[in-house]
Structure 1
Amino acid sequence: MLDSQIISHNKTQPLITFIITTYNLDAGLLKECVESITRLSISIDEREIIVIDDGSDLPALNSLTSVCKNIVYLWQPNNGASAARNIGLDIAHGKYIQFVDGDDYLITATYEHCLDIARYHNPDMVMFEHTSKDDSVVTEIYDGPFSGAEFMHNNNIKGMAWGYIFKKDILISLRFNRNIKFGEDEEFTAQLIIRAERLFTTPSKAYFYRQRRSSVIHEINKRTKVQRLEENESIIFHLHDMLDKLPKAERAAMERRIAQLSMDYLYNTARLTHSYSHLNDACERLRRRGLFPLPDKKYTRKYSLFRKMSKNAIGRRLIIATAI
């Protein structure tokens, strides 16, 4: 059962809801995350902050006593980030949504630029950059609007769910797959982008991403490696199964995304297993789905090179030897 403590509730629709997920985080990191939002030049009525605690041993609320004004806090048994984010989406009231991981934070000056795009251009999505260094430069540059399908067809996208602001209305029934632990962002983001009719991009480094060795993506035991690769493969197959239901432009965009994810999957198979037989088996499973050899498209120079190398035994052995 979900335990909850609602500290405050906005009666009017906020401009943006910030959904923060946390699990057994250092109190200082979580507080820094929340404070990066409260420092923004949006009023209390314009913002909604939802903290979803995914079963922390000590409730995260204890570390937020000094910044808890006008925050919605919910605790759930440990069910993973996908389930936590889905709860946030279900109760969010904002016109726009921004995900934030509890150990990261928003960079005030550059995120303000993203908010201005949301305020004045009525986008469905605003995509921005991230950094792990204290080197963010303020810029007022942006491009758009594009349709999401147009943008994804012409660009490699970054799957992280915290890498953009998006209008809640374009979600409809879309939610995170709570059965996936590794790569759930990739599945969600690809489906969300093709729903956008007005997408803007900016080179602003508006999000500070903190890589922690204890995070899920840094788990390196054998069981975790197998699960990660299996789930990456299932995401590719799920997106592939959607193709026949998509209009032509959206289908072309999704085909590029699937090809990019397939390349990443094969590379990660080589990097995590260093096994020629495992890489061959992965290629064969993609082949049975009509996904290998990788499509002969000039998406990027890196993609074209990897495609050629992966088609033969010598190239696959070279991929394994250089995958680190």
Structure 2
Amino acid sequence: MPTISVIIPVYKVEAYLDACVASVVGQTFRDLEILLVDDGSPDGCPALCEAWAARDPRVRVLHRQNGGLSAARNTGIDAATGQFLAFVDADDTLDPDALRRAYEAQRQHKADLVIFNLRYVDEAGQALPAPDFSGFPDEVLDEDGVWQRYFSLQEQRIYYVVAWNKLYKRELFRTLRYAPGKRYEDQFLLPQLLSRCKTISCLGYPGYHYVQRRGSIMAQGSSRNYLDRSEFLLEWCTYFAQKGDALRAEGLLNDAIQNLGEKERFDLSTPEQRARYRTACRGCADGYALLACTTGRRSMWLRATLLRLGLPVYQKFLQSRQ
């Protein structure tokens, strides 16, 4: 059984794949299983994957029909045999010592999750000056500590959210999987993931090189343009409300409401998208109803009632209070 299974989803990254896999194969920590999950890539990636498998016995290729990033990661999770899991996006690279340092931190602190720092780089691998992640210290946190750090940040929040700068105990994913077909799949999973962690080791060491390139999933416009953002905010609202953190839950809920109020941002050209939008709007009413139940505040029942009458009605209510 390998110590670490490294899962690399592969789709239309022919120009970047060799550099990515080379950075994983070349890790100073050698006890690896490297799973290249070909997500039905239509370019030369499948052949490149097979070439790497022929070159290094630690590399295993999994071919599947195209299903998106989450589905590819889930395929890798299902096939992994390592004690720990790590994810690398196929257009990024690891510093040679990344997995060794993460594993040593896990052993030192008996951590359920290790987070190592990241660096934004251009397509030539040159470090970009912003965002600046140099302020992250080495520290050991619990779930609440991670959330406190997360909500105190803006651009640097990615350190805590993304799937790929982390070393996970495999058992964390016993019942967890990424939501297929969703953008921001990391955010959908994060609350449930952190809730399973007692000890989280955080490193200031920048072991992950996050390549900024045109055409990547995360380069396709503002997150506020996608219903997925409001949907994960509503899930987070429910999570924090059930934890008894009504203040944080209401802040997330109001962010979702504000985002949904920017209706012109969304592509609502299909019945499916319009149905998703209506469901999210109803979710806002449900969110305030949940907060009303947990806090006993009548004002929240009023907001829930107004939201059930429709988002335009609620917006007029907010305008009347200004």
TM over 0.5: yes
| Partner in structure 2 of residue 58 of structure 1 | 43
Asked if structure 2 preserves the Cα contact closer than 8 Å seen for 1:111 and 1:204, the reply is no
| Partner in structure 2 of residue 155 of structure 1 | 150
Asked if structure 2 preserves the Cα contact closer than 8 Å seen for 1:124 and 1:198, the reply is yes
Q: Distance in 1 between matches of 2:185 and 2:221?
A: 18
SS class of match (2:191): helix
SS class of match (1:182): coil
Q: Distance in 2 between matches of 1:110 and 1:269?
A: 42
**C-alpha distance after superposition, 1:214-245 (max 9, x if no partner):** 12233359xx976x22x22222333444567x
Q: Distance in 1 between matches of 2:194 and 2:46?
A: 33
Please report how far the alpha carbon of residue 122 of structure 1 lies from its aligned counterpart in structure 2 after TM superposition: 2.1
Please report how far the alpha carbon of residue 109 of structure 1 lies from its aligned counterpart in structure 2 after TM superposition: 3.9
Structure having the larger proportion of residues in helix: 2
Please report how far the alpha carbon of residue 162 of structure 1 lies from its aligned counterpart in structure 2 after TM superposition: 1.0
| Partner in structure 2 of residue 41 of structure 1 | 28
Tell me which of 231, 236, 243 is aligned to 1:234. Answer: 231
Q: Distance in 1 between matches of 2:137 and 2:47?
A: 40
- Greater than 6 Å deviation, 4+ residue runs: 136-140, 281-284
Any stretches of 5+ residues in structure 2 without a counterpart?
152-156, 267-277, 292-316
1:142 counterpart = 2:143 = no
Alignment of 1:1-324 (within 5 A): 13-26=1-14, 28-43=15-30, 46-58=31-43, 60-64=45-49, 65=51, 68-69=55-56, 70-133=58-121, 134-135=126-127, 142-144=138-140, 146-153=141-148, 155-156=150-151, 157=157, 158-178=160-180, 180-219=181-220, 228-229=226-227, 231-242=228-239, 251-252=243-244, 256=248, 259-260=251-252, 263=255, 266=258, 273=265, 287-290=284-287
Q: Distance in 2 between matches of 1:167 and 1:205?
A: 20
Q: Distance in 1 between matches of 2:92 and 2:104?
A: 22
User: Against the structure 1 CA distance between its residues 255 and 202, is the aligned structure 2 distance closer, same or farther, given a 3 Å change threshold?
Assistant: farther
Q: TM-score, normalised by structure 2?
A: 0.69
Asked if structure 1 preserves the Cα contact closer than 8 Å seen for 2:240 and 2:249, the reply is no
User: Against the structure 1 CA distance between its residues 282 and 128, is the aligned structure 2 distance closer, same or farther, given a 3 Å change threshold?
Assistant: farther
SS class of match (2:207): strand
User: Against the structure 1 CA distance between its residues 118 and 77, is the aligned structure 2 distance closer, same or farther, given a 3 Å change threshold?
Assistant: same
Amino acid aligned to 1:33: C
Percent identity between the two aligned chains: 23
Please report how far the alpha carbon of residue 97 of structure 1 lies from its aligned counterpart in structure 2 after TM superposition: 0.8
Please report how far the alpha carbon of residue 271 of structure 1 lies from its aligned counterpart in structure 2 after TM superposition: 11
Q: Distance in 2 between matches of 1:108 and 1:261?
A: 41
Asked if structure 1 preserves the Cα contact closer than 8 Å seen for 2:117 and 2:136, the reply is no
Alpha carbon RMSD of aligned pairs, Å?
A: 4.1
SS class of match (1:19): strand
**C-alpha distance after superposition, 1:192-228 (max 9, x if no partner):** 011101111112221111122212233359xx976x2
Point out the more displaced range, 66-75 or 15-24: 66-75
Any stretches of 5+ residues in structure 1 without a counterpart?
1-12, 275-280, 295-310, 317-324
Q: TM-score, normalised by structure 1?
A: 0.68
Aligned length: 271
Amino acid aligned to 1:124: D
Asked if structure 1 preserves the Cα contact closer than 8 Å seen for 2:134 and 2:204, the reply is no
User: Against the structure 1 CA distance between its residues 41 and 56, is the aligned structure 2 distance closer, same or farther, given a 3 Å change threshold?
Assistant: same
User: Against the structure 1 CA distance between its residues 22 and 284, is the aligned structure 2 distance closer, same or farther, given a 3 Å change threshold?
Assistant: closer
Q: Distance in 2 between matches of 1:254 and 1:22?
A: 40
User: Against the structure 1 CA distance between its residues 187 and 92, is the aligned structure 2 distance closer, same or farther, given a 3 Å change threshold?
Assistant: same
User: Against the structure 1 CA distance between its residues 217 and 141, is the aligned structure 2 distance closer, same or farther, given a 3 Å change threshold?
Assistant: closer
| Partner in structure 2 of residue 300 of structure 1 | none
Asked if structure 2 preserves the Cα contact closer than 8 Å seen for 1:239 and 1:254, the reply is no
Asked if structure 1 preserves the Cα contact closer than 8 Å seen for 2:19 and 2:93, the reply is yes
Q: Distance in 2 between matches of 1:208 and 1:32?
A: 11
Q: Distance in 2 between matches of 1:258 and 1:94?
A: 40
